[in-house]
């Protein structure tokens, strides 16, 4: 099988558990370090799937690689190559498919439940089994609209659009790829966010409390999401 292309936009926001999952399933992958100046490939032809990671920038920023990635997503869609996005990655997907990205009513930082949207209950079964929701990790100030042709499958009180499905594609606002190392590293940047603790913003101490069982529970969900996604990988 052709490798899966993974796009890293920030040194601290690598593939995390997604790479672990791929390795466990003996699926090859190639990392594009966009944050180090590596350009996205001109076409998705050499890959079985595309995975877009997070980053502190906005989809609306004038960065040379953003329109390149947007076109790559659209080209993958035309070729039936599945795309999966985490946070910024989900926002890039939404933008590529005709949605918008803008400021969320509140910043969302730390652990928080997301729930299956009632209108998408049947579709969500394919991706999440009988789960009605789960505790995910969050770190964002912007959010996406649901693009044309897509279905919202997850939301919560702080951010209505937490995930959408569009054919074989999965775009997520939340993070399910987190590792303990990533969470501890991000917590060191908490003060730079400049927002006080609130219903949607946890302190580093709150984020680190019971971290191991929380990660384990989230990985059970990530396994289900990723397993369904790889079922659509293009094998030729």
Quote the tokens at residue 153.
Answer: 């499958």
Quote the tokens at residue 69.
Answer: 């990635």
d(CA 64, CA 231): 32
SS3 annotation, 33-53 = EHHHCCCCCCCCCCCCEEEEC
Residue 67, classed as helix, strand or coil, is helix
- Find all residues with CB under 8 Å of 157, minimum gap 6, and list them: none
Quote the tokens at residue 183.
Answer: 């969470």
CB 155 within 8 A of CB 117: yes
pLDDT lower than 70: segments of the chain:
none
Per-residue pLDDT, 236: 74
Q: Which residue in 22, 196, 209, 217 sits closest to 136, CA to CA?
A: 217
pTM: 0.97
Per-residue pLDDT, 181: 97
CB 86 within 8 A of CB 54: yes
Per-residue pLDDT, 192: 92
Residue 95, classed as helix, strand or coil, is helix
Per-residue pLDDT, 38: 97
CB 102 within 8 A of CB 91: no
Burial 182-210 (b: 16+ CB within 10 A, else e): bbeebbeebeeeeeeeeebbbebeebbee
Report the mean per-residue pLDDT for the chain: 97
- At 46-102, the pLDDT tens digits run 999 999 999 999 999 999 999 999 999 999 999 999 999 999 999 999 999 999 999
Q: Which residue in 100, 183, 76 sits closest to 137, CA to CA?
A: 183
Per-residue pLDDT, 2: 97
């Amino acid at each position: 099988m052709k490798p899966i292309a993974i796009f890293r936009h920030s040194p601290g926001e690598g593939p995390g558990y997604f790479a672990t999952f791929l390795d466990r399933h003996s699926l090859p992958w190639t990392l594009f370090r966009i944050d180090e100046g590596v350009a996205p490939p001109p076409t998705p032809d050499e890959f079985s799937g595309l995975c877009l990671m997070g980053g502190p920038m906005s989809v609306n920023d004038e960065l040379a690689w953003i329109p390149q990635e947007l076109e790559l997503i659209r080209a993958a869609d035309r070729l039936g190559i599945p795309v999966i996005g985490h946070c910024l990655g989900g926002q890039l997907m939404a933008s590529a498919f005709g949605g918008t990205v803008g400021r969320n009513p509140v910043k969302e930082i730390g652990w928080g439940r997301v729930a299956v949207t009632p209108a998408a209950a049947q579709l969500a079964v394919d991706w999440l089994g009988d789960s009605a929701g789960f505790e995910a990790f969050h770190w964002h100030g912007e959010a996406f609209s649901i693009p044309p042709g897509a279905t919202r499958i997850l939301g919560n009180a702080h951010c209505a659009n937490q995930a959408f499905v569009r054919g074989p594609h999965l775009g997520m606002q939340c993070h399910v790829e987190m590792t303990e190392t990533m969470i501890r590293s991000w917590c060191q940047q908490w003060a730079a966010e400049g927002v006080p603790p609130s219903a949607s913003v946890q302190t580093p101490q709150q984020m680190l409390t019971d971290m191991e069982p929380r990660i384990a529970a989230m990985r059970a969900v990530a396994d289900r999401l990723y397993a369904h996604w790889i079922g659509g990988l293009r094998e030729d």
